[in-house]
Chain A
Amino acid sequence: MKKIKPLFLLIFSLLIPVISFAQNSEVEMADLLRQDGKIYVVIGVICIILTGILLFLLTIDRKVRNLEQNQKR
């Protein structure tokens, strides 16, 4: 677990939002979504999916590692 802590700190530091200032307001952008703060919901969903996929990949990695270790014996 010691190894994971700096990683999570890094990930959370990336969550610090980038504040957007409207410039050319004639062009349609997702400003309202940002005002409502709901873009963070999307990011949350994406992060959950990404975490799941990466955990799945890590599990496969571990399975292969076990196979390799069993074979050496």
Chain B
Amino acid sequence: MSLKNNSLFTGIQWWKWTCIVLLFYTFIQGLLIEVPRLPILNETIRNLFFHVTIWFAMIIMMISSVVYGIKYLRSNNIDFDIKSSESAYTGVFLGILGLATGSLWAKYTWGAWWVNDAKLNGAAATMLVYLAYIVLRGSIDDENKKAKISAVYGIFAFTLMLVFIMILPRLTDSLHPGNGGNPGFSKYDLDSKMRTVFYPAVFAWSLLATWIAEIRVRIKRVSASQNH
């Protein structure tokens, strides 16, 4: 063990610092900023900076998963499989947080923990599809076979996610903002003030997700090289 490299902050890349700063910005400004005064929503409009951005980060993790999955299929480099699967795991974790926060928000604005809505059921179905991804990976012992099958399934899962949470909710009626003729929050944000927190918040959560996935990838790499 070299004590020289043991400082908490050495080797922390610039994007991790960016993540820390933006997260503090999100939490402080997210609570302090002036928001549109709307009935029913009241102060819960601030959930835009937390609930919605968590889903954005989840989608970015799934994009990363499918991109590295395709890279694996093209190169057979197992390192791409590690990146692909850990991105998906991190995405599933964020998705569960997204479902839980959405459910709580729905209770106080729509009046129920869960409503039979295209967007909500689509999000739940997406989580099931990705849970199946985890089960699939767990059921195959051979490393290369596991990587190949899960990469192919990952492409399938990603396509289903796009259909379930982007396309289908827009084709039908939906309570969820931004779907089925229902306006998104951009309509309420007349002076673009919320955008000054919303976009940094998307970056903050995405960078945090990347950070967590990166650490998981590094742990996987270390343990993989110890096994061989």
In the complex, are the beta carbons of A17 and B32 less than 8 A apart? yes
B100 CB-CB contact with A under 8 Å: no
Task: Give chain B residues whose Cβ lies under 8 Å from the Cβ of A39.
Answer: 31-32
Task: Give chain A residues whose Cβ lies under 8 Å from the Cβ of B5.
Answer: 65-66, 69
Contact of A24 among B1, B8, B27, B37 (CB under 8 A): B37
A66-B33 Cα distance, complex, nearest whole Å? 41
State the interface size on chain A (CB cutoff 8 A).
39
Residue of A15, A64, A70 with most partner-chain B CB within 10 A: A64
Residue contacts A-B, CB under 8 angstroms, 28 given: A3-B9, A7-B21, A11-B21, A14-B29, A18-B29, A18-B34, A20-B34, A27-B37, A27-B39, A28-B42, A29-B43, A30-B43, A39-B31, A39-B32, A46-B27, A47-B27, A50-B24, A54-B20, A60-B215, A62-B7, A62-B8, A64-B215, A65-B11, A66-B5, A67-B222, A68-B222, A69-B2, A71-B222
13 further A-B contacts with Cβ under 8 Å, apart from A10-B21, A47-B28, A57-B215, are A7-B20, A17-B32, A43-B28, A46-B27, A47-B27, A50-B23, A54-B23, A58-B9, A59-B8, A62-B6, A64-B215, A66-B5, A71-B225
